[in-house]
Amino acid sequence: MESFSDLGAILLMQGFNGLSVFSVLLLMALGLALIFGQMGVINMAHGEFLAIGAYTTYLMSTVVQAHAPGFMPYYFLFAVVAAFAVAFAVGWLVEWLMIRHLYRRPLDTLLATWGLSLIIQQALRSVFGPREVSPELPEWLMGSWQPLDGVDIPINGLFVMALSFVMTGGLLLALFRSTWGLHVRATVQNRLMSGAVGIDTRRVDRVTFALGCGIAGMGGAAFTTIGATGPTSGSLYIVDTFLTVVFGGAASLFGTVASAFLIAQTQSVSEFFMTGSMAKVLTLSAIVVILMLRPQGLFSIKTRK
């Protein structure tokens, strides 16, 4: 009985670790679902916006530690907002300089954003160096919560989960209960008619792309609580993020949430029984098989033909 209880505790902790990965993956996938699912842009540089948000958090930690150490208990909440703002601003600039010239040219968009990802990686490597860095986290993010004997749940994981749930709820409200969301959905359904009734589709595109990048930047701030940041940290998530969006249904935010949960939990629990690489192979193989049977993903948006 004791061995079974130990196994249950380990599986519970593995499941919570999967929820932490799910939270970061969800923040990444939500931004990509806007850019890829709503706009049809294949943004291979999306992972680099996670790195931008993570480095913004690290930079704020370094500055506060050096010049305002008394602000350390509070800086991280401001760092999350700053990570969103910086990634949003860079995304706005990228859309204006490059993406707006490449709409409805998916192959060109893929190649251009892949080149952009390499440029951003090299810029981060030149500014911050090739070694991984980590911000100094405030004390309230350290430690763990013990709901049961033998089960320790990290507080930073709880914070990341709460952040992802708040961001998901806010994005759903914005898409379905705001003027901007109405304009986005109208532009996706019929761009020409939306422009004819007075919607500035170019501005909708720019704000949507920048918002997707900003959410990825916020994911980068969350990522710093569970891992170290390097110039290529974002690229490690880009494949999983695309799989999450496609597996859930490219135009469905609800599908993105369900897909991120299934992928993160499957991989985390599998890692208890096998190596990390084999767990990755198992997860990816299962997704490929399911997509072969259901290419539209878990959830698809019904449209009139």
Examine residue 254 and state whether it is found in any structural domain, yes or no: no
How sure is the predictor about 303, in pLDDT bands with cuts at 50, 70 and 90? Answer: very low
Number of domains in the chain: 1
**For residue 190, is it within any domain?**
yes
**106 lies in some domain:** yes
Length of the chain in residues, anyone? 305
Range of the domain at 32: 19-141+151-238
Residue 2: the pLDDT is 43
- Within-domain flag for 228: yes
Q: What's this model's pTM, rounded to 2 decimal places?
A: 0.86
pLDDT (tens digit per residue) in 90-147: 999 999 999 988 887 888 888 999 999 999 999 999 999 989 999 988 888 887 676 6
CA–CA gap between residue 105 and residue 301 (Å, rounded)? 23
Kindly state whether residue 146 falls inside one of the protein's structural domains. no
Residue 246 counted as domain residue: no
Indicate the average pLDDT of the chain: 82
Q: Are 297 and 259 spatial neighbours (Cβ–Cβ below 8 Å)?
A: yes
Mean pLDDT along residues 236-261 = 78
Q: 104 in a domain, yes or no?
A: yes
Residue 226, in any domain of the structure: yes
Dihedral of the CA atoms 257, 13, 270, 279 (nearest 10)? 80
- For residues 23-27, give the mean pLDDT: 82
Query: Is-contact 245 36, C-beta < 8 A?
Result: yes
Question: For the segment 193-230, what is each residue's pLDDT rounded down to a tens digit?
Answer: 888 888 888 898 899 999 999 999 999 998 898 888 99
| pLDDT > 90 fraction of the chain, expressed in percent and rounded | 27
23, 64, 172, 215 from 168: Cα distances, Å: 10, 29, 6, 10
Q: Measured at the alpha carbon of residue 59, what is the angle toward residues 57 and 65, in degrees to the nearest 5?
A: 100
